Structure 1
Amino acid sequence: MKWYFKVIAMVALAASIVSCKKNDMKYADAEVSAVENLYAPADGKAVKLLSSSSAALYFEWESALVADGGAAQYEVVFDKSGGDFSKPLYTVTSDNNGNSNGANISHKILNQVATKAGINPGESGDVIWSVYAIRGMKRVLSKAKKVLNIKTLEGFAEIPDELFITGEATEGGTDVAASLPFKLVGNGEYEIFTKLEAGKKYIFTDRKSAEGRIFYSEDQTKIKEGETGSNSIAKTAVYRIRIDFNVAAVTYTEIKNVGVYFSPSGAVVLDLPYQGKGIWSATGIINFKQESWGRDQRYKFQMETVKAGKAETLQLGTQNGTDSPPNSSSAPSYYFVRILPNLSQWDDKWKFADAVDGHPTKIAMILQGDKDYTHTVVPN
């Protein structure tokens, strides 16, 4: 008889499922009223944003009414001054997972709102805000709205954890997957050495995908964020581009020449033409200088640049001080490169291996964002 009870149980379960489906078809979300009053912040309130992670502004409004006596949920919406919230700049769920009629909104989020509204870093501008009351699938926008005046941060509240350059002006072209990486050189500071084509567009982005944030500069001084912005350069050249998101600043330095600086001569003895994607290289003969104590083989690199119309000479030397030539067991870090704070003839130099003396040697300097700045010396 066990089979009989199993059949009865299955029939009962099926009936229950059918009954539930019929009830579900009759279900409808309860009506919810629009929020009548927005309490805080006051209309026209001016707020100066702070970079502290704990800085926030409290928003509060009157509770909505729900026909079945239940509770509504809420979202705060922001739009440009004069907007109608049909395409809001930003939406924030209220506190307590949307169940509170208040929201503590961080200055970091308000800075993003202001950026989307076109307010430049360090400047003030107006946005408007209102509240949606929500019950299930029903969403009702309040007829009330208030103005909030925001003075944005000088820099970015949300600094990207990676940065790339892409576009028709760049060496990687328009394929964002082939974009070239910047190097993180400090807290919120990035740089890249790369060639740009004049009159063509390019952008900075935090992802190798179409979903990345877009950064650009209209004056090659201040960095902005926006989905439709782009950069262009007036002169085709190799540049060192530095971006500091802490102060929303960008600088361009044109790299005119790079060469091997031979300390005994106090001069560049081999020019290194740019090969692309942060690499300069050439093959040449370096003759060591005979001294009374032996042959002098000390060297570093020198770079001729133009920044803001002013010529400047930079030197690049050892990252880890050394007074010995390399050998087969030398660590890769022996060749690591850094831009030196001062010019000198003898400081922060390397020594060529003996095999370089008088023989054709390929020398390359590699300044790429996804690896340590370094150089190679390969005698033929």
Structure 2
Amino acid sequence: MKLSAIKLTIISALILTWAACSNDGEVRDFGVTAVSKLYEPSNNKAIVLQSSTSAILYFEWEPARAEDSGNVLYEVAFDKADGDFSNPIAIVTADNNGGQPHATLTHKQLNRIAALAGIESAMQGTIKWTVFSSKGINPVKAEEERMLTLTRLPGFADIPGSLYITGEATEGGADLAKALIMKKVADGEFEIYTKLTEGKTFKFVSANTGTPTEYSLSGEKIVEGGTTTATKTGIYKYYLDFNIGSFSTKEVYKVNWYLNWSQKKIELPYKGFGVWEITNYTITGLTGNDNTDDRYKFRMESSTGETEWRAINNDSKPTGNESYYYMVEKTNVEQWTNNQVWKSPSTTGWSDKTYDVTFSLNPERPYTHNLVIK
């Protein structure tokens, strides 16, 4: 059987082998029983897959037993409706790194599995699933198999591993070699903040060399081939999800550097390639707490409303690590936000100092910012 895909790594197997040896070097038995019964989902269950990231399907089965009374590892195997699991189309490790007799799969995972089974986008089809139990080697197939009917999301069967934006409307122009790479936020999901020029066209490509697959936007969907025309010059965020074949966009009107106590907003001009920056800016006129409270963050005004960009998870003075300045976007726009503010490296207040501030959403690096006090 071609079950190499469901074995753990060679290192894990070697560790297990060492652990299975008695003091006199005798190798203990790695045998496990087959899972005798599958519990969830029920046989022939029909699922219409949803695009929500919270949409999941729970798999559960009766625990197997190990001959050494130790822990058993599990993997859920999927195959075509007429398959025999000798070469499964997909294998998913059970919860808790394989240690639990259950597994939680997202609908997006199931959508990719359905595509591997040959089910077309937005169509219904049937796959089968079972469970393999093991001690890390010599997996044993469950005694039971079950069918699962899935209605696929309207996405792509062949999802690009990387994505670029190119064309006369873009900051990189129409030269494919200068296409701008988009940030991969998850498998099949990409985003970019970039400037587009009105009346000119752009497209998305799977590579910036050779003859890549091309994509454009039609209505609310991503389609293969074609180009899209920018209707207005502006700075935009584009988010494309090939798992469901859809996209979202917003126009970014303004990015402000925001001082918490004074609620002072300082606009950062767009520099290009996902970066906003102000240089040689002098703050004056702040007194009292407005001047000495050293917390700050950023606010973005866009066609979808105002959001905040804050630290990922800190509420302390700068550590000197680059990751301290990494940012994430938040929708709760408030003067004070727990664990989501930064501290200025200055200890003598904001006023009467000159600053360079960079706010970077460049896709080639983590979203971050830089504050320089001159």
Superposition TM-score, scaled by structure 2 size: 0.58
User: 1:96-111 to 2 correspondence within 5 Å?
Assistant: 107-108=115-116, 110=118
1:338 and 2:328 aligned: yes
Post-superposition Cα deviations, 1:221-250, rounded to whole Å, max 9, x if no partner, equal 2111x3x41111211110011111221111
Residue in 1 that maps onto 2:342: 350
Q: How many residues align?
A: 244
Judge which range, 287-296 or 256-265, deviates more. 287-296
Residue in 2 that maps onto 1:273: 269
1:214 and 2:214 aligned: yes
Structure 1 counterpart of 2:316, which letter?
A: D
Post-superposition Cα deviations, 1:108-132, rounded to whole Å, max 9, x if no partner, equal 4856xx7xxxxxx5379xxxxxxxx
Q: Measure how far apart 1:210 and its partner are.
A: 3.4
Structure 2 SS opposite 1:334: helix
Q: Measure how far apart 1:174 and its partner are.
A: 0.9
Contact kept, 8 Å, 2:155 with 2:243, in 1: the verdict is yes
- State which of 232, 235, 252 in structure 1 corresponds to 2:232: 235
Compared with structure 1, are the counterparts of its residues 212 and 360 closer, same or farther at alpha carbon in structure 2 (3 Å cutoff)? same
Residue in 1 that maps onto 2:193: 193
- State which of 251, 256, 259 in structure 1 corresponds to 2:253: 256
2:245, 2:79 → 1: CA distance? 20
Structure 2 counterpart of 1:206, which letter?
A: S
Contact kept, 8 Å, 1:257 with 1:305, in 2: the verdict is yes
Q: Measure how far apart 1:206 and its partner are.
A: 1.5
2:231, 2:336 → 1: CA distance? 37
Contact kept, 8 Å, 1:288 with 1:297, in 2: the verdict is no
Residue in 1 that maps onto 2:369: 375
2:311, 2:247 → 1: CA distance? 27
1:313 and 2:306 aligned: yes
2:289, 2:184 → 1: CA distance? 45
Post-superposition Cα deviations, 1:141-175, rounded to whole Å, max 9, x if no partner, equal xxxxxxxxxx8741122222211101111001111
Off by >3 Å, runs of 4+ in structure 1: 48-58, 106-111, 286-294
Residue in 2 that maps onto 1:363: 357
2:363, 2:116 → 1: CA distance? 28
Q: Measure how far apart 1:57 and its partner are.
A: 7.4
Contact kept, 8 Å, 2:261 with 2:290, in 1: the verdict is no
Residue in 2 that maps onto 1:282: 278
Contact kept, 8 Å, 2:301 with 2:307, in 1: the verdict is yes
Judge which range, 292-301 or 208-217, deviates more. 292-301
Residue in 2 that maps onto 1:118: none
Bigger Rg, which one:
1
Contact kept, 8 Å, 2:308 with 2:330, in 1: the verdict is yes
Contact kept, 8 Å, 2:262 with 2:290, in 1: the verdict is no
Question: Where do 5+ consecutive residues of structure 2 fail to align?
Answer: 1-46, 51-75, 83-113, 125-150
Compared with structure 1, are the counterparts of its residues 157 and 290 closer, same or farther at alpha carbon in structure 2 (3 Å cutoff)? same
Structure 1 SS opposite 2:174: coil
Structure 1 counterpart of 2:341, which letter?
A: K
Residue in 2 that maps onto 1:133: none
1:292, 1:213 → 2: CA distance? 56
Question: Where do 5+ consecutive residues of structure 1 fail to align?
Answer: 1-47, 59-105, 115-120, 125-150
Structure 1 counterpart of 2:334, which letter?
A: S
Contact kept, 8 Å, 2:286 with 2:351, in 1: the verdict is no
1:246, 1:176 → 2: CA distance? 25
Post-superposition Cα deviations, 1:257-295, rounded to whole Å, max 9, x if no partner, equal 111011012241x11011110000112123595447981
Structure 1 SS opposite 2:192: strand
Structure 2 counterpart of 1:343, which letter?
A: V
Q: Measure how far apart 1:55 and its partner are.
A: 5.5
Structure 2 SS opposite 1:256: strand
2:267, 2:170 → 1: CA distance? 24
Q: Measure how far apart 1:49 and its partner are.
A: 11
2:289, 2:351 → 1: CA distance? 17
Post-superposition Cα deviations, 1:88-110, rounded to whole Å, max 9, x if no partner, equal xxxxxxxxxxxxxxxxxx84485
Structure 2 SS opposite 1:202: strand
Structure 2 SS opposite 1:345: coil
Superposition TM-score, scaled by structure 1 size: 0.57
Judge which range, 183-192 or 358-367, deviates more. 183-192
Percent sequence identity over aligned pairs: 31
Judge which range, 206-215 or 287-296, deviates more. 287-296
Structure 1 SS opposite 2:356: strand
Structure 2 counterpart of 1:197, which letter?
A: T
Contact kept, 8 Å, 1:288 with 1:296, in 2: the verdict is no
Post-superposition Cα deviations, 1:324-348, rounded to whole Å, max 9, x if no partner, equal 2x3xx61001111110131111221
Compared with structure 1, are the counterparts of its residues 168 and 158 closer, same or farther at alpha carbon in structure 2 (3 Å cutoff)? same
Compared with structure 1, are the counterparts of its residues 184 and 107 closer, same or farther at alpha carbon in structure 2 (3 Å cutoff)? closer
Post-superposition Cα deviations, 1:22-81, rounded to whole Å, max 9, x if no partner, equal xxxxxxxxxxxxxxxxxxxxxxxxxx99999956477xxxxxxxxxxxxxxxxxxxxxxx
Contact kept, 8 Å, 2:122 with 2:154, in 1: the verdict is yes
